[in-house]
Amino acid sequence: MSRPALAMITGSYQPGRCGVSDYTSHLCQHLAQHGLSTTVLTTYAAARTHHSADVRGVVDDWSVGDMPTLARAVQALNPALLHIQHAAGSYGFQRALFGLPPLLRLAGWRGRLVTTVHEYGWWEWQPPHVPAGLVELAKRLGQRRGWWDREDGFLLTMSDALITTNSYAAHVIHERLNGHAPPTHHIPIAANITRASTDRATARREVCAATGWPADALIVAFFGFLHPVKGLETLLAAFAPVAATCPAARLLLVGGVESLALRGAEAERYWNTLHGLVADARLQNTVHLTGFLPDETASCYLQAADVGTLPFNQGVTLKSGSLLALFGHGLPVVATRHTPPDRDLEQATFLQMVPPRNADALAAALRALLNDPSARQGAGAAGAAFVERFSWPAIVCQHRGVYEQAISNGR
């Protein structure tokens, strides 16, 4: 491909506080390494945190009033291809972006549009003061004729290509649009941190020294933002009986609380709530909350662990960069089962799956791994081999293919 101008629209572009922003940042960096420079269009507030000419603030927010300004910014830049990264939370759960494609066409922009759908199938539009039956009729009519879809308006139907990061989103899109969907490509994400060069023995010495734990501790690690939806209450309830029957067991909660989804006083309250749960269960000597850590330090903590766990309330899918990070650090993992099951994880027979919000099942699975070194070793090696195909070079190669096809063919 002859290096077309590429622009990327993303929501609140703050990689340290948003998983989609972090993914987008890594994608742009790796595209640049392959000769595709990218201009990111985002909010003025987000752009000020980057101090880079490649990150431009063009809107105050993502409201209806900001869309004409955004359309004019795209037209002025005039990229051959515009790539929108869409997840509802990154745009403050505002829907105005769904009307951007027709605005761009009305403004005279004739480039190609690619949209990455990070999540789909749960956030339908129900405008106030409009009869529900009338809205439903409009949704069905638009989808049947391929004009719009019931969840994302014109964003999907007017794209030249779609990228989904999980198989469930791809399935629902094709089911709803029934032959009217643009060419759709499933490109899984990569781990949200890479493995540091620190060897395991050194990592264990450093972590045990930092926490005051014995050198023979058996460490269970959670990794990611500490949010109420992550099942941490279930994890702490499960870990109490594990620690009672396995004196060497220790629990690391690796990650910060502050994010786009949990901010300021609300984040501080949840941080205090977790510490209160630890104290109530008398686990102060066996549970450690790290807070936010730089990637290399977080990797060191994961390398010191023996088992990883992600007890999400809604279950785990392969759109979790934390899951891939645990696999990438060679950890056997206990996670909660998503409904419907993630097709991409069906082949991962080495992954221990338990029902969400079930402390007894989680405790039993953790206890079984902690008591079986050979099972830990086998599952950890299998996970590390599984995650090798989720690499940034492979992701960039697939994106280049999508871009080339969109520019050559369009719709």
- Pairing relation of β-strands 38-43 and 55-59? parallel
> pLDDT tier at 2 (50, 70, 90 boundaries)?
very low
Q: Measured between alpha carbons, how far is residue 296 from residues 198, 256, 304, 337, 388 in Å?
A: 9, 15, 13, 29, 19
pLDDT surpassing 50 at residue 176: yes
The whole-number average pLDDT for the span 329-356 is 90
Task: Concatenate the DSSP letters of all residues of 277-315 into one string.
Answer: HHHHTT-TTTEEEEES--HHHHHHHHHT-SEEEE--TT-
pLDDT surpassing 60 at residue 53: yes
Q: At what angle do helices 321-328 and 373-386 cross, to 10 degrees?
A: 120
Cβ-defined contacts of 265-274 (< 8 Å, 24+): 270/226, 270/227, 270/228, 271/226, 274/226, 274/232, 274/236
Cis peptide before 340 (omega within 30 of 0): yes
Q: What is the pLDDT of residue 4?
A: 44
Whether the CB-CB separation of 125 and 150 falls below 8 Å is answered with yes
Q: Which residues contact 103 (CB under 8 A, 6 or more apart)?
A: 67, 68, 70, 71
pLDDT surpassing 50 at residue 404: yes
- Domain extent listing, the chain: 6-190+391-409, 200-389
How far apart CA 115 and CA 258 sit, in angstroms, is 28
The helix (H) or strand (E) run that includes residue 72 is helix 67-77
Fold of 6-190+391-409: Rossmann fold (3.40.50)
Q: How many CB atoms lie within 10 A of CB 254?
A: 28
Q: What is the pLDDT of residue 284?
A: 95
Residue 210 burial (C-beta neighbours within 10 Å; 0-12, 13-18, 19+): middle
pLDDT surpassing 70 at residue 3: no
> pLDDT tier at 123 (50, 70, 90 boundaries)?
confident
Give pLDDT tens digits for 187-200.
Answer: 988 888 888 888 99
The whole-number average pLDDT for the span 339-346 is 81
| Tokens of residue 166, six digits | 């999980």
* In the chain, % of residues over pLDDT 70: 98
Identify the CATH number of the domain defined by range 200-389: 3.40.50.2000
Give pLDDT tens digits for 257-275.
Answer: 987 677 889 999 999 999 9
Question: Comparing 6-190+391-409 with 200-389, is the CATH topology the same?
Answer: yes
Give pLDDT tens digits for 81-106.
Answer: 999 999 988 898 899 999 999 999 99
Whether the CB-CB separation of 232 and 354 falls below 8 Å is answered with no
- Residue bearing tokens 């871009």: 403
Q: Nearest Cα to 402, choosing from 192, 191, 172, 164? A: 164
Give pLDDT tens digits for 201-234.
Answer: 999 999 999 999 999 999 999 999 999 999 999 9
